[in-house]
Structure 1
């Protein structure tokens, strides 16, 4: 056969294989929506189950439209170090031109788009759990749309869109900062303005536990999220190559989760007197969040250390937020914010230059000095400051214009009836 034809066939096959890989990974990340829905529903009371499920269902629709209309262009469009300016609206009709920052992958435009979209949707979903059981449904819809349209894409441009943090040598492979910390900072702003649920804290500040209604759902959701992370992290290669990078990322991802489960179980057992299942599940999620930034940059042994720290951190973060009267029903801040920060900094400690082909430089503990750690710390502060401030402003305006918290009567009676006129367990006697 003609050598040119052979080369063309190989190129077509390679592009097709990469495209299938990226799309399958995107589908796995999309499936994580069910995991979030199950975890959040189970950790909240039965009278709010329909509301939780409704938010988790509609949030991806909101994200899809917001990211398509303007978010994609702000994040990946050619522009300046702070924001994209080309191809801003409606993803430029699916034309690759104007998006140099993501031109390195050979997959078709819409494959790139859908993969990045499911990440944007994840950031918005994180907010849902933290503001659960007292947020007005329209207020959540409004905030989620603005988060994905404007807040998430700007910081995403800084890191993945060829922006100033990327130029300074900040590394976040799959989104400990870009996705998880952004969702966490946005949620923190909302939680502060919302205030705690009724009956959560006594006048002296001591905590009154509000127990979730279904740990079976929590466990199911946790396992679904763990499974979905095998698309979230390895899929960020956006190419199959020889498969070695994908295999490495799968193992670092799984190892961090496993180590975090072990440490969260032990620490919870010691501090709480029992191996608390919610801490075990959130421990797994904490490990997964923490390894997301460095899954392609660290060794398997370092992934285990990152996971061990993450599992302990999530157990200590929950009472820390409670002491500040920051009421987070599902532990989203402890999982996504605290461990998004930890995972980002861990790249600066444990990175091994070129371990899967990326020229990160070495971390502090791998012979590289403090330069990389400094870049990571700067990114944490910059992203945190921007996202929290802008999110606080958005929440504040929403509070003034439409209100963000349901009435006292509705909160006591349950958001299912008050917001949706429905019950998750109609005909059953549920005791919260």
Structure 2
């Protein structure tokens, strides 16, 4: 075929295509007119049948949506559950070999105890209808209609309970590492029951259960904590601090005011535990959406991972370039704590901040945890795994960071429709100062309550055992 014929053929084809496009509106109008005529001619019974079919289809779509949300919540809950293995590996690796069996046993039993306590009373205290300070209904999950604070989530109550259960179990597991190598097994078990049954749910109700810090009392008094920097981690870390103070340091840790290292026996286990916890956080934070929202969960995964990486890098640099120790080198233990501190810090704001803000939050978390570990060591607060620095201090920083870096819920670039105002570093102005003040108020209120309730719980456990909370010198020496 000649060039001229090919050109004429292409022109002809193009004209036919354009003619077809021009006809589309006319065809659509004809179809609509025919449809109207058909509907007008159909008897009422057929029209009713069509309406019923449409309603049935809508119900099926709604069911599918709830089913997918439920699967998502249960799957992420399983990831958080697996964090128990991470805590066990981390604690066993950072402690001495003679205590490894005891540490792993504590991490095994604590979730079983948490399940019993949270099912019986904890979930009701936290989410049941009551007053601004505590829930008073829904014990043993016997009633589905007394959890008004959870009714905006369409998934079944059992799925909601499971996800909240694994978060509660995390708070109890945090305590395990801080009191390791000298606490009585029975004392730890009893305190874990009290923590998950009473301490954790009360402060959790204030924020997540429609209590006075969650806008349930005064509409303007809204404390934001998306996935639990304060609700889970600061409460667990605060309870651990009280326990460590009452127990005292391990034998041989401090002699004449000098701190001696009691090195862990297996760094490989500790690093494996860190990776498992890191993986679990991809359920912890994204799962807190409680729905399969592609935009939200993909954003949360990135902010979570970015903060963890930034925290690890910052901790490595802070220990490597220590100006007080010219022979310093990167400390694997401190890098682990930096990663975990970054994860804890981003937990409160993972949905509300950008990637660059997540980097800033993680970097500062990694630096803070290094100095925090040193501070508690100088105060002779013996924390074998750095749980207080990671969870308590990291949680406080992360909660404050929300008031500094949140993007705000207005504007074309908003990451969310329901959330805190723009942070102080994001041009929030006077509103951001008010939000930051509320965040600080919540930290202080939850912190004081946790310390007081934990102190009472530890003393109650001590009175039940009619002796010391810690094992005998012989048992501590032999493991």
TM bucket (normalised to shorter chain) is: over 0.9
1:400: how far off? 3.4
Q: Is the 8 A contact 2:365 2:397 kept in 1?
A: yes
1:81 is aligned to 2:132: yes
1:194 is aligned to 2:247: yes
Counterpart of 2:210 (choices 136, 142, 162) is 162
1:96: how far off? 2.2
Counterpart Cα distance in 2 of 1:406 and 1:359: 47
1:275 is aligned to 2:341: no
1:104 is aligned to 2:152: yes
Counterpart of 1:407 (choices 472, 476, 479) is 472
Counterpart Cα distance in 1 of 2:174 and 2:151: 29
Instruction: Map 1:246-265 to 2 at 5 A.
Output: 246-265=297-316
Counterpart of 2:140 (choices 90, 100, 103) is 90
Counterpart Cα distance in 2 of 1:249 and 1:267: 27
Point out the more displaced range, 274-283 or 64-73: 274-283
1:184 is aligned to 2:242: no
Q: Is the 8 A contact 1:265 1:276 kept in 2?
A: yes
Counterpart of 1:207 (choices 240, 244, 259) is 259
Which residue in 2 is equivalent to 1:64?
115
Q: Is the 8 A contact 2:94 2:266 kept in 1?
A: yes
Q: Is the 8 A contact 2:224 2:419 kept in 1?
A: no
1:363: how far off? 1.2
Instruction: Map 1:359-374 to 2 at 5 A.
Output: 359-368=419-428, 369-374=432-437
SS in 2 for 1:311: helix
Which residue in 1 is equivalent to 2:273?
221
Q: Is the 8 A contact 1:297 1:358 kept in 2?
A: no
Q: List, as ranges, runs of 4+ consecutive aligned residues in structure 1 with deviation greater than 6 Å.
A: none
1:268: how far off? 1.0
Q: Give a deviation string over 1:252-272, Cα, whole Å, max 9, x none.
A: 000000111110000011226
Q: Is the 8 A contact 1:75 1:161 kept in 2?
A: yes
1:359: how far off? 2.8
Q: Give a deviation string over 1:145-192, Cα, whole Å, max 9, x none.
A: 000000000000000000001111100000000000000000001000
Alignment TM-score, normalising by the size of structure 2: 0.84
1:394: how far off? 1.3
1:173 is aligned to 2:226: yes
SS in 1 for 2:438: helix
1:399: how far off? 2.3
1:364: how far off? 1.2
Counterpart Cα distance in 2 of 1:337 and 1:46: 27
Q: Is the 8 A contact 2:307 2:361 kept in 1?
A: yes
Which residue in 2 is equivalent to 1:393?
456
Counterpart of 1:337 (choices 377, 392, 396) is 392
Q: Is the 8 A contact 2:88 2:104 kept in 1?
A: yes
Alignment TM-score, normalising by the size of structure 1: 0.93
SS in 1 for 2:130: coil
Q: Give a deviation string over 1:335-356, Cα, whole Å, max 9, x none.
A: 0000000000000111112222
Counterpart Cα distance in 1 of 2:460 and 2:380: 23
Q: CA RMSD in A?
A: 0.9
SS in 2 for 1:259: helix
1:128 is aligned to 2:183: no
Bigger Cα Rg = 2
Structure scoring higher RCO (CA < 8 A, sep ≥ 6) equals: 1
1:366: how far off? 1.2
Which residue in 2 is equivalent to 1:429?
none
Instruction: Map 1:284-323 to 2 at 5 A.
Output: 284-323=339-378
SS in 2 for 1:8: helix
Point out the more displaced range, 16-25 or 270-279: 270-279
1:225: how far off? 0.4
